Amino acid sequence: MGKTLYEKIWKGHIVKAVQNQPDLLYVDLHLTNEVTSPQAFAGLREKGRKVRRPDLTLATLDHATPTDLSKPFSDPLAKKQVETMRENCKMYHIPLFDLRSTKRGIVHIIAPELGLTQPGQIIVCGDSHTSTHGAFGALAFGIGTSEVEHVLVTQSLKQYPSKTMAIEFEGEKPTGVTAKDLILALISQFGTDFATGYTVEYRGPVIESLSMEERMTICNMSIEMGARAGLIAPDQTTFDYLQKKPHAPKGKDWEEALSKWKQLRSDEDAKFDKVVAFNVRKVAPQVTWGTNPGMGTSIESVVPDPSSLSKEARESAEKALAYMDLKPLTPITAIGLDVVFIGSCTNSRIEDLREAARVVKGYRIANHVRALVVPGSQSVKSQAEAEGLHQVFIDAGFQWRESGCSMCLGMNDDVVHAGERCASTSNRNFEGRQGRGARTHLVSPAMAAAAAIKGHFVDVRKWEFHKEEVFT
């Protein structure tokens, strides 16, 4: 019987297998940040252990860091986390992209853009959105603090294999619909737990037509439907993206790597534990109305009436609408906004900023709206500035910031205040995610940009562009 892509990667990384025990897997790349690693390093010091492969561990500052470096840390804990990360990396000889580094950024942005993320790898990080790297045909997933310590010491990890699911994207992607809309619509249709216990492989012509940045957006949100990880088989789009990256193989090494990477596809006779068909023909720009990514709908629709839902769904919807301060049957386009955030590991790459700038050009944000654009890395920031995107945003009234996780999780100076409503390009809209009492609506960069201009949600497919300009 043929093997799935997941099975090929898994079997190729088994160091030790014992019946009825988790497999011991080799880890190719370990990513760390200042928030999820301190306890693991503390464990090393207490036990007198060393880091086995510091060269295969990459550290960056992203979660707790301010995006306005002209100001001091306002949170003593955040400052302490950054200082501790510096001390740990120095002690254990781990490369660190510090605050002023031109290579710094959100960990799931910088590893791909540096070419460190490659097909066939196993990549782990103490962060749930590690699934982003699955866009390259790498098996990537988040791990807990004790597992971080284990990887640091052994460069391996004990894991039980997951079940496999194939999600076949069928139909043709409608004009004006983005990768963010596709993944939000998928989660809205099937729920936030339908992939629990599975590693998902996204398949079909729709997926193959996406750019690497779009594929990363899809895989990034795999965790939001309960999946252990998300995968997309590498193809020519993948290889073209990687070829000129700093850490990609060169010369003969590139040809050898390419030969291996081309084998990283599920065999035609491979059997998945579950196969799901998702038709994209009728997908429209999406907006979440509730307190998880599955509570979403089309921009053309209305806030749902809980009384029309099943008993179980009704209770959750009523609670969500109370928190979000929304009334049933309110048109999505009638929902006003206070804050707009364009950023996060889901949507802060250069393609995202180009699309948002195309919408913004020639406009000003609504007077009552506070809007931030936070590039995913310093490299993205530099490229955007070279293309003049930053000036488009500044002229429109947006705040242009340094890279970082920023308002995605409210763990730094960028927060949505209690009672404020935010259109966000991030991946989670949980209660209090962006700040205590914050109300979050997940959207694509284009939808967020248009909402900032109008002060409420609008259908970006009907947008009047002041200047048809494609930024490259």
DSSP codes of every residue in 135-154? GGT-EEEE--HHHHHHHHHH
Parallel, antiparallel or unpaired: strands 57-60 and 29-32: parallel
Phi and psi (nearest 5°) for 279?
A: -90, 125
What confidence score (pLDDT) does residue 470 get? Answer: 52
Average predicted confidence (pLDDT) for the chain:
96
Query: Are 124 and 243 members of one domain?
Result: yes
What are the CA-CA distances from residue 203 to residues 168, 215, 234, 356, 448 (Å)? 5, 11, 11, 27, 28
Least confident of 188-192, 204-208, 329-333, 465-469: 465-469
Whether 429 contacts 440, CB under 8 Å: yes
Rounded to whole angstroms, the Cα distance separating 354 from 174 reads 20
User: What percent of the chain clears pLDDT 70, i.e. is strictly above it?
Assistant: 99
Note the pLDDT tens digit of each residue in 355-397: 999 999 999 999 999 999 999 999 999 999 999 999 999 999 9
* Residue 68: inside a domain: yes
Query: Are 223 and 300 members of one domain?
Result: no
Whether 278 contacts 191, CB under 8 Å: no
Query: Are 41 and 182 members of one domain?
Result: yes
Rounded to whole angstroms, the Cα distance separating 68 from 400 reads 9
Query: Are 220 and 264 members of one domain?
Result: yes
Residue 311: which residues within 8 A CB-CB, separation 6 or more? none
Rounded to whole angstroms, the Cα distance separating 303 from 332 reads 6
Q: Between 40 and 73, whose confidence is greater?
A: 40
Using pLDDT thresholds of 50, 70 and 90, give the confidence band for residue 71: confident
The yes-or-no verdict on residue 462 having pLDDT over 70 is: yes
* Residue 282: inside a domain: no
What are the CA-CA distances from residue 295 to residues 222, 304, 316, 394, 445 (Å)? 15, 9, 10, 32, 19
Query: Are 249 and 222 members of one domain?
Result: yes
The yes-or-no verdict on residue 255 having pLDDT over 70 is: yes
Query: Are 344 and 204 members of one domain?
Result: no
Rounded to whole angstroms, the Cα distance separating 287 from 458 reads 10
The yes-or-no verdict on residue 104 having pLDDT over 80 is: yes
Query: Are 252 and 337 members of one domain?
Result: no
Provide the number of structural domains found in the chain. Answer: 2
Helix (H, G, I), strand (E, B) or coil at 8: helix
* Residue 472: inside a domain: no
Rounded to whole angstroms, the Cα distance separating 144 from 127 reads 8
The yes-or-no verdict on residue 472 having pLDDT over 70 is: no
Using pLDDT thresholds of 50, 70 and 90, give the confidence band for residue 471: low
| Stretch 259-274: mean pLDDT | 98
Phi and psi (nearest 5°) for 21?
A: -125, 155
* Residue 284: inside a domain: no
What confidence score (pLDDT) does residue 1 get? Answer: 86
Spatial strand order of the sheet with 163-170 comes to 229-231, 198-203, 163-170, 274-279
Give how far the C-alpha of residue 322 lies from the chain's centroid of Cα atoms, to the nearest Å: 28
* Cα dihedral 230→231→232→238 (10° resolution): 110
* Residue 281: inside a domain: no
* Residue 205: inside a domain: yes
Rounded to whole angstroms, the Cα distance separating 202 from 308 reads 32
* Residue 137: inside a domain: yes
Query: Are 364 and 427 members of one domain?
Result: yes
Note the pLDDT tens digit of each residue in 76-86: 999 999 999 99
* Residue 280: inside a domain: no
Query: Are 183 and 258 members of one domain?
Result: yes
Query: Are 243 and 302 members of one domain?
Result: no
Rounded to whole angstroms, the Cα distance separating 309 from 307 reads 6
Query: Token pair of 387, please?
Result: 């293309």
For the domain that residue 312 is a member of, what is the CATH number?
Answer: 3.30.499.10
Final residue before a domain boundary, out of 245, 275, 305 = 275
> Helices 179-190 and 212-220 meet at what angle, rounded to 10?
30
Domain that holds residue 163: 5-275
Final residue before a domain boundary, out of 242, 275, 308 = 275
The string of DSSP codes covering 324-389 is: HT--TT-BGGG-B-SEEEE-TTTS-SHHHHHHHHHHHTT----TT-EEEE--SBHHHHHHHHHTTH
The yes-or-no verdict on residue 72 having pLDDT over 90 is: no
The yes-or-no verdict on residue 422 having pLDDT over 70 is: yes
Residue 464: which residues within 8 A CB-CB, separation 6 or more? none
Query: Are 256 and 358 members of one domain?
Result: no
Query: Are 230 and 85 members of one domain?
Result: yes
What are the CA-CA distances from residue 183 to residues 158, 186, 286, 347 (Å)? 30, 5, 9, 12
Final residue before a domain boundary, out of 275, 300, 323 = 275
